[in-house]
Every structure is written in structure tokens, then in C-alpha cells.
Structure 1
Amino acid sequence: MEKDDREKEGKLTLVLALATLIAAFGSSFQYGYNVAAVNSPSELMQQFYNDTYQERNQESLDSFSLTLLWSVTVSMFPFGGFIGSLMVGPLVNKLGRKGALLFNNIFSIVPAILMGCSKTARSYELIIASRLMVGICAGLSSNVVPMYLGELAPKNLRGALGVVPQLFITVGILVAQLFGFRNVLANEEGWPILLGLTGVPAALQVLSLPFFPESPRYLLIQKKDVSATEKALQRLRGWKDVTLEIEEIRREDEAEKAAGIISVWKLFKMQSLRWQLISIIVLMAGQQLSGVNAIYYYADKIYLSAGVKSNDVQYVTAGTGAVNVFMTIVTVFVVELWGRRLLLLLGFATCLTACIVLTVALALQDTISWMPYVSIVCVIVYVIGHALGPSPIPALLITEIFLQSSRPAAFMIGGSVHWLSNFTVGLIFPFIQVGLGAYSFIIFAVICLLTTIYIFLVIPETKGRSFIEINQIFAKKNKVSDVYPEKEELKDLPPPVSPC
């Protein structure tokens, strides 16, 4: 019987696989796509801004105003992401996880149409407003997709499926880079199509996701619908008897009844969730402040200094994007083998090493002829390190270290930290680069080092553990007697497994 249970436990059914692909392609893919879509046609779009302004006012935009308009266009995306993160809690509690994803497509299809028509309408304001809306879409999807998939997956597949959203983000970036080649869509006629294509995955999700189950945890704990929970689990697992899993969800529910739905404010005040909260803030800030956006920003200059022709830089950049996709695929397969903690430590340590060597290489590249090639290797090594742990694991951990009642608030806080950090790097890095030049990566090295130390000292391994077991590990760190100390129901639970 035990053997049979183990075989059942590991099953990736067709329904679960398709639900994962549709949720990730329809939502996470767009996040990645919109991150990179404006990079290739940026000069053409700025020319369009200038031409449109000239048509209206019979004078050209001065360089400061044009730079400001473009900065607003780019930074509207992370700002929208921050707004989207604030909407996560209310939407997932009211509409469910699947319902929130379907609703979120409004923030993709509408801006896709507006951006596609912007050139014909001679309006750059449409592009700026659309960037805000696709940002909201990304802010919601970057939080809701990991939550939805984490709650659909059996615990032995939770890590692998939890990395899939990040995989589709990297695929989105790569597809935008490929479509952004000058001989494809990054040209005078093609750039509005390049921007408008983001609506295609959203339309496919609207048509297909309604046929897949809602999160069983949401159906049982929040909707109290036992029959719907049973049907959803039977479809997801591929067998009739789902009593054990329903019982596990019920125990989680019992553990949480005293807490109710936890607001962001309440989450900050709860001693029993203190280290979980500190951990997601550190991991989300570390993920964005470790320099990943700066590496991509700097990459073109590094390639040019190594002798890559300016027309060929786009191909090398796409190659870096392909490495990112490949390493994220590797992470999908090793996350259940190596565990979350090891991948985070390995990833941040790799990024730390790459930042230090890159600083030395950039400082010496004018004096030693082969140093620019070392810089290129550093960029690739950094991308590999970030794809192994810092990019995919933090969102997966939010799902794992919080229980149902606190999960939406935790994603709101984690998402807000993610997008505010992203926005800050985008805003401040150009000035840091002017002030510090090659030494700007020392700042990112320090952040990588501090995050690595924190992970080593605080983050437990969550691989193969139930949500209750993970929270019992943190109960010890929080110096409370149990997950929710005021509840007696947890006293009969098995003792927590000591962390690795």
C-alpha cells in the first residue's frame, strides 16, 4: 500500500500539466515578454515620441524631455507591478486563484490593443498608459501564478511546478529578444506589432483556463465546498480516493481558524510568522538588488568593448537569454533533488563571485587585452547563478512557508518588495554607474554576500514537507509553542522534522 501511495504521489497528470502550462504561458510569459519588448525598438519609439510631439507643437522635444518621457515609459512597468501586487490579496480571496488570473487578462488584452494602435493614433500617451496596465498584469501574475500552482501541486512536485512560472518569464524575455531583431519586428513598421503581441497569450488563457480546476485549498478552506474540492483533487491527481489530501487540507484549516484571514497589517504584528515575513522580504529584496537588471543593462556595453559589432550585439543578447532559459529548465528538474536551500546558496554565491570578478575585469579591461572576454564570461556565469536560485526560488518559498490564511498577504508584501526594488534599481543604477563606473558591481556583491549569509543562517529546507511541517520548523525560530499558539488542535500532529 505504501509503495502504491508513493507511486501516486509522484504523478504528473495531464490535467495538472496543462493547468500549469496554461497559467504560466498566459500570465508569467507576458511578464517576461513585457520586460524585454521595449529594449530593441527603444530608438524607433523615441523617434516616434519626438515626431508626434513635433506634429502637435511644431517644435522638437529637447533631449532632457525626451529622456524623461522614455524613463517614464520604462518605469511605468515596475510601478504598475507594485500596484498589481497590492491587488493580489483582495482579488485571490474574492475571485479565487484561477478567477484572479482570468480577471487579470483585462490588464493585458486592453493595453495590447492600445499599444498596437498607438502609432496609427499618433499617441505616445497610449503607450505610457499601456505600460502601466501591463505592469499591473505582471504584478498580479508574478504573485498569483506561483500561489495557484503551489496549491494545485502535490508536495513532491511543488518545487518543480513552482519554478515553471520563472521558466516562462525567461522564455518571454527570450521570445521578445528574438522578435526584437531588426529584421523581424524591431523596425519602423513592426514595433507596434511587437508591443501588441502580449495580448495573444492572454486571449489563449481566457479561452482555456476556465476548463481547469480552481485551487482545492481555496475551495475547501475559503469556499467550504467539500464536493468541489473532491472533484478538483480527483481531476488533478487522476484517482478517486483523495481522502488523505482532503484531511491534510482540513488540518491546515483547523490550524488556522483562530487566525482568520490575515491582513498585511496583522501579518506584520504576528510573532508566530515573524521569521517567515523577514525571510521573504530579504529574499525578494536580494533577488532584485543583487544586480540582475544592472547586468542586463551593462551587458551590451561589455559585448561592445569585447569587440562584438554593434549590429551583432542583439544576437549575443538573445544568446544570453537562451542560457537563462536553459538554466531555469535545469532548475525545474533539480529543485526536488537538491532542495530550495542549496539552490539559493549556490545561486547567490555564484552571483557574488561573478560580481567581484566582473568589477576587476571592467577596471582592467583597458590595460589587459583579454579582460573584455573575462567580462563576457562573468555576465554568463552571473545569469546562470541567478537562474539557479535567486530568480525562481523566492516566490516558491512564499507559497511553502505561509499557510492559507496568511499566503495572500505574504504575496502582497513579497510582491511589493520585488517591484519597489526593481523600480529602485532601474531609477538609481544609471546614476550609480556614472558615479562609480566599473566599481558599481561592488554594491551588488555586498548584497549577494549578505543574502547568502542570511539564507545559510535562517532558511530551512522545505523539500518534500507539508505546509504544516514547514510552519512547525518556523514556530521554533519564532519561539512560539506551535504554528498558531492559541489552537489546541495541533497538539496531536507529528513532531516537526528538524531542518537540514
Structure 2
Amino acid sequence: MPAGFVQLNGGEIIEQDYNATWIHRYGEPIPPGSLTSLWSLSVAIFSIGGMVSSFCVGFVSEWLGRRKAMLVNNVFAFIGGGLMGMSKISRSIEMMVLGRFVIGAYCGLASGLTPMYVGEIAPTSLRGALGTLHQLAIVTGILIAQMVLLPFCPESPRFLYIVRCQEHQAKSGLRRLTGRQDVGDLLAEMKEEKRRMDMERKVSIPELFRSPAYRQPMVIAIMLQLSQQLSGINAIFYYSTSIFMKAGVQSPVYATIGAGTVNCAFTVVSLFLVERMGRRTLHMLGLGGMCVCAVIMTIALALSDSIPAFVSMLAIFGFVAFFEVGPGPIPWFFVAELFSQGPRPAAMAVAGFSNWTANFLIGMGFQYVADLSGPYVFLIFAALLLFFLVFTFFRVPETRGKTFDQISASFVQRPDGLLDMDMGLDADKLSTELDCLGEDLN
């Protein structure tokens, strides 16, 4: 989730408010160094709130259930919004920073709870498309969508049946979600998942890294989250207006609004492509396109005197478009797909913490690095994008059209101690190969 999207056009306004508050308190304008530090703190504290709350995703989702936890979480949005709204009236920088922290806590829980819920209620054939709809809800107004629509949503049938053993309620939820009266096939799939779950206990966060069965998917989950935040997308969102101004764009505010429009439009594009092209392919397409756009952006900004401003503007629009095609929506629901019910809450917590930590580092450090590197700062992101592209090509499996059990089965222990990550391995082939292996060992 591009957490910085809520920051569009807000930087200059907040800086003006900070300066006015400083003058009111001390009778003089705020020093430039202090303004940069306060602004960076205001940006980064959002991520700290997300980092803290992301570790609570597993506990909260098991305690309250997926749906109720998302409803209760909206209280944080009201508190955080109230604090930020009152900060100008109260002339309090501290209220703004605290409000940003609380909003970050809300987003940290939402970014873990929502993909988990969507992944559990979605049929296998539509899991990617519905996962992308989560991203679309974010860019078109996550708070309004959840407050107005969520009370009418059923609880996750997988949670009701597998965790709470409430078969009747699970059937009712399946009927509401699918519009079918006969949901026996879907219930049978969940029964098989529950049977497997009964054989494995809940997995703690340390066990995710100690167990060879979980280590490799956990590394993939973390790298996918890092590929989203270290791509440079939040640098674009946090500082888009100033980037357009430096590029010589006459109306940077409208250019920033244009970037937001591209953001929404290409999320819709991803919605229709994710089940046709697959998660892995779209993620690589997005990373590769962003890498090229980052290089073009660097050249355009470095040679702004001789290159027209629209080139850097198009590079930024392309950067945002490729982000929404792959790295924007895919990492969140991909993590939910990689793990079965037992380790999923802990895995979502670790993935969320990784995402928000990277978000914090970008929010806190980008302005300082940009001041030192100038337009060449985006070459750093281009190098990171290239690294993540290579990692995805060699290490990330395709999960399109596979059940949770089939995806988990693709990470199997081989006799040499390594993990088999055959991109096209299905359950029947896996079962046959394991039977043959057992006969060979006997």
C-alpha cells in the first residue's frame, strides 16, 4: 500500500502551519534545519505507528475476528484525524505528530487485516482480482469504503469454520458471498484445510524463521514488501509537488493530481490483468517498468535545462502506473497466499513490520539523501528495483489458480535439505513424487 498517498499536496501546507506555530511560540521563523527535521518526523512517525500496530495483526484477528477487528480499527482513524484536524486550531505541532502516529497505527492494522480477510473469503479463481480491489479501495478512499460498506460484509467463512468451528455460520457466509445455495464444494475445501490445520499448531514469529518449511516463503514475503516500499514510490508521493516544481512544471499541483489519477486508473488495469497474467509476471513487469522510468526521471531532472519538463512528468506518471500494475497491490495479498491458516497471522505481522520499517526509512531519510544526491537519488531506487526484479525472477513462485494447500505444498523439503520451488508443481504431481521418494527410501 502506498502509505504516502495521503500526503499528496500536504507538505507545503503543513510546513506553513509549522512555521506559523513556531513564530507564535518563539517570535521568529523556524530555522530551515528544524523545519526539515520536523517535516521528516511528521512523515516518518506515520510509519512508526504502522510498524507498532502491524505486530498486533495476528493477535487482534484471532481475538476479535477479521470483520470485527476491521470495524474496531476505524476508531483509530477518527482519533488520528481529530488530532490532526485540531492541531492547527490549537497551534500544536505535537498534536499533528501524534495524530500522524495514530493514523499510522490504523493503517498498519488495516494493511494486515484487510488482505487476510479478502484472501480468505475469495474463491481461488478470483483471489488475485479481489486482492487488487483492496488496493483500489485504498486509492479511492479507504476510510469511506470501510465505514459505509464493511458492516454489511459477512465474517470470513474460513475464520468461522477453521478457527471458531462454526460450520453453520460459515455456510451462511459462503452463501452470501457466492450467491449460491449449494456451497458444499467450497466447504469441502475448507474441511480439508481444517483437517490439515488440526495437524499443525499455531506458529509463532520465531518459528517462522527457525522452521525450514516456513523460512523460504517468509524470505519471499519480506522481499516482496521491501520491493514495494524501497521502489521509491513513497518518495514520489511524499515529495511529488516539489519534484514537479524542480522539473519546471508550471502548475505542479495539477501534475500531482494527475499522478493520483494515474494511480487509480492503473489499479483498475491491474484488477483485470492479475488473474490472466499471474502475480509473478505482473510484479516483474511493474518492477522493470519502474526501473526504466526511474532512469528516465534522473536524466530529465539532471538535464532539466535542455530537456522539456513534460518528459520528467511522463516519467513520474509511468513510474506510478507501473507501481499500480504490480508492486502496489500484489505484495499484500501474495503474503496471505503463501501461508496456510496456522502461520498466516504471524507471517502477516512480520511482513507488515517489514513494509512499515522500509516506509519509515524512506520517509525519514529521503529528503536528506535527496539534498546530497540531487536528481541522481532515483538511480539508487533504479538499482534496488533491478535487484528486486532479479530476485522475483529466480525465487518467487506463481500462485495463480492454486489453493492455499497447493501453494504451501510447493515449498517442500528435499533430501538434500533444500526447498523445491517448482513454479508449475501441482498437488497430484507432488503426491506422486513423494510416494516415489518414499518407495526409494524403503
TM-score by length of 2: 0.89
1:477 positional shift = 7.8
Counterparts of 2:316 and 2:46, CA distance in 1: 24
Q: Does 1:46 align with 2:26?
A: no
**2:112 & 2:100 partners in 1: Cα distance?**
18
- What is the match of residue 435 of structure 2? none
1:165 shift after superposition: 1.7
* Cα displacement string for residues 233-260 of structure 1 (whole angstroms, at most 9, x for unaligned residues): 1111111221211111121122233331
How far apart, in 2, do the equivalents of 1:253 and 1:384 lie?
A: 39
In structure 2, C-alpha distance between the alignment counterparts of 1:33 and 1:301, rounded to whole Å: 15
Shift in CA distance, 301/33, structure 1 to aligned 2, threshold 3 Å: closer
Q: Where does residue 312 of structure 2 map in the other structure?
A: 375
Once the two structures are TM-superposed, the CA of residue 149 in structure 1 deviates from its matched residue by: 0.8
2:221 to 277, 280, 303: 280
Taking structure 1 as reference, are residues 496 and 38 closer, same or farther at Cα in structure 2, changes over 3 Å only?
farther
Letter in 2 for 1:210: P
**Which of 225, 228, 234 in structure 1 is aligned with 2:166?**
225
Distance in 1 between residues matched to 2:9 and 2:416, nearest whole Å: 47
Residue 409 of structure 2: aligned partner = 472
Aligned to 2:324: 387
| Equivalent residue, structure 2, for 1:169 | 138
Aligned to 1:408: 345
Find 2:252's aligned residue among 296, 307, 313.
313
Alignment partners' CA distance in 2, 1:478 and 1:428: 45
The yes-or-no answer on 1:292 pairing with 2:260 is no
Q: How many residues align?
A: 426
Task: Identify which of 260, 263, 269 aligns with 1:330.
Answer: 269
Structure 2, gaps ≥5 residues long: 421-426, 433-442
How far apart in 1 are the matches of 2:373 and 2:34? 25
Which residue of the partner structure matches residue 160 of structure 1? Answer: 129
Note if 1:242 corresponds to 2:183: yes
Shift of 1:473: 1.5
Q: How does 1:401-440 map to 2 (within 5 A)?
A: 401-440=338-377
The answer on whether the counterparts of 1:364 and 1:371 sit within 8 Å (CA) in structure 2 is: no
Distance change in 2, residues 1:301/1:126 (3 Å)? closer
Identical counterparts, % of pairs? 36
Structure 2 vs 1, CA of residues 107 and 252 (structure 1 numbering), >3 Å: closer, same or farther?
Answer: same
Partner Cα separation in structure 1 for residue 414 and residue 314 of structure 2: 40
Supply the distance in 1 between the matched residues of 2:248 and 2:414 (Cα, whole angstroms).
Answer: 52
Deviations 1:12-33 (A, max 9, x none): xxxxxxxxxxxxxxxx89x676
1:74 to 34, 40, 43: 43
TM-superposed deviation, 1:87: 1.2
1:257-315 CA distance string (max 9 Å, x none):
33311111111111111221010111111111111122335543443344322xx2111
Report the Cα distance in structure 2 between the residues aligned to 1:219 and 1:145, rounded to whole angstroms. Answer: 16
Match in the other structure for 2:440: none
Is contact 1:302-1:376 (8 Å) kept?
no
Which residue of 166, 176, 194 maps to 1:253? 194
CA distance 1:297–1:478, shift in 2 (3 Å): farther
The answer to whether the 8 A contact 1:328-1:388 is kept is yes
Where do 5+ consecutive residues of structure 1 fail to align? 1-27, 173-197, 484-492
- Distance in 1, matches of 2:262 and 2:124, equals 29
Residue in 1 that maps onto 2:385: 448
Confirm whether residue 210 of structure 1 aligns to residue 151 of structure 2. Answer: yes
Counterpart Cα distance in 2 of 1:283 and 1:291:
14
The amino acid of 1:45's aligned partner reads D
Between the aligned partners of 2:419 and 2:293, the Cα distance in structure 1 is 41
CA distance in 1 between counterparts of 2:419 and 2:376 reads 47
* CA-CA distance at 1:51 after TM superposition: 4.3
Q: Deviations over 1:301-341 (max 9, x none)?
A: 443344322xx211111011101110011101111111111
Q: Tell me the distance in 1 between the aligned counterparts of 2:401 and 2:307.
A: 46
Distance 1:275 1:105, change over 3 A: same
Give deviations 1:38-60, integer Å, cap 9, x for gaps.
Answer: 33522332234324424xxx666
SS of match in other structure, 1:53: helix
Partner of 1:235, secondary structure, is helix
2:289 aligned residue? 350
Structure 1 contact 327–388 (Cα < 8 Å) conserved: yes
Worse-superposed segment, 331-340 or 234-243:
234-243
SS at match of 1:233: helix
What is the rounded CA distance, in whole Å, between the counterparts of 1:477 and 1:133 in structure 2? 46
Q: Alignment partner of 1:404: what SS?
A: coil
Deviations 1:405-432 (A, max 9, x none): 1111111111111111011112222222
Residue 362 of structure 1, aligned match among 301, 307, 310: 301
SS in 2 for 1:465: coil
Counterparts of 2:367 and 2:415, CA distance in 1: 40
- Name the residue aligned to 1:105: 74
Q: Is the 8 A contact 1:283 1:394 kept in 2?
A: yes
Q: For 2:203, what is the secondary structure of its paired residue? A: coil
Following superposition, the deviation at residue 163 of structure 1 comes to 0.7
RMSD across aligned positions (CA): 2.7
The answer on whether the counterparts of 1:339 and 1:463 sit within 8 Å (CA) in structure 2 is: yes
TM-score by length of 1: 0.79
Structure 1 pair 276–35 and aligned structure 2 pair: CA distance change class (3 A): farther
Deviation at 1:342, TM superposition (A): 0.9
Q: 2:357 corresponds to which letter in structure 1?
A: L
Q: In structure 2, give the amino acid aligned to 1:370.
A: I
Q: Matched residues in 2 for 1:302 and 1:217: separation?
A: 46
> Partners of 2:88 and 2:328 in 1: how far apart?
35
CA contact (8 A) 1:32 1:170 kept: no
Verify the 8 A CA contact 1:469 1:497 in the aligned structure 2.
no
| Matching of residue 129 in structure 1 with residue 98 in structure 2 | yes
